[in-house]
Structure 1
Amino acid sequence: MLTPLDIHQKEFRKGAWGYKTEEVDEFQRQVAQSFEELYKENILLKEQVARCEENLLRYRHLEETLNNTLVLAQKTADEQRASAEREAELRLKEARLQAEQIVAAAWAKQQEMERQYEHMRNQFRQFRVQFRAMLLSQLETVKGEDWEEMANMDEPFADARPWSPAAVSTGEGQAG
């Protein structure tokens, strides 16, 4: 490829019927100047393309990293959600089991208390029947003949000596 310097330094041989030197030199100068501008612009554009390619490569790498990060974050979120759901189900099962145990214990306690209540009621009824029978028996005893005889006696112990603590210690007050 020609450089602007190559164009400036190019010399043409002169022939008998050749071109006018001034016109060729002017044209050569204009071509060199235009070529130099294009050459510089081409170099700048190549540098820009190289930077853009570097940036594109960096952005592609960043995009790949971001995609991997996003995939990993999504996977982690899915795993955490699944773990949270499993834990919630487990806690719910435990709570239900505990509630069932509490209800069963309360039911058993109620049954036991009802059984104790019935037992105490039966004992009360038995006591009442026995107490009534005893009272009726005592009442019959009080109404019996022995009580009538005792009620009619004047002084059943008229011949007994009076009691005193001194008589007890000496043995005098004892019936003999």
Structure 2
Amino acid sequence: MFYKKGDYMNKKVIALILAVIIILIAGIFVISGITNKPYEKPYENTNKITALVYYLDSSGIKLQKTDAEIILKESENKYKKVLEKLIEGPSYTNLHPTIDKRTVINSVTLDNDICIVDFSESFTEYNTGGSLRELLCVYSVVNTLCQFEEINKVSFIVNGSKIESFGELDMSGLYEEDLSYTK
């Protein structure tokens, strides 16, 4: 079959126009994909705070306080963040964690001068094992929180409910800072 020279040129022009249209449509999809990203929160201000955390000393029978630097976002609860650092464990090899890393903090709230720490059941599940271990676990939390002048007492709850005991410890009352367990 023979084509006229004009037909061949018309087909080239049509093919070129179709290619340009396809490229434009693809470009629109790419651009709309970029601009229709989900809303991201703008940069949140952060503060670096230094807090005291109480870890187990090398003897295993006393708490030792150490400074910990904590990066705190504006929206974060500083008490919870400090306790998360306590659970994370020390960066020094001569100190040991008092709380098992699998322990989960549900929330930390302040009611007047009482700090209420709500743990998941992991707190009672992974941190018992003798009265000294339990006592040092509790006072590592209490002493760490009571460094803040607005906190005088600490209450422990699990999944929103008061706990009566933690291993051999009576947990029905409030705990106050007690530095007699520290080195």
Q: TM-score, normalised by structure 1?
A: 0.29
More relative contact order, 1 or 2 (CA 8 Å, 6+ apart): 2
Instruction: Name whichever structure is richer in helix by fraction.
Output: 1
Q: Which has the larger radius of gyration?
A: 1
Instruction: Name whichever structure is richer in strand by fraction.
Output: 2
Q: TM-score, normalised by structure 2?
A: 0.28
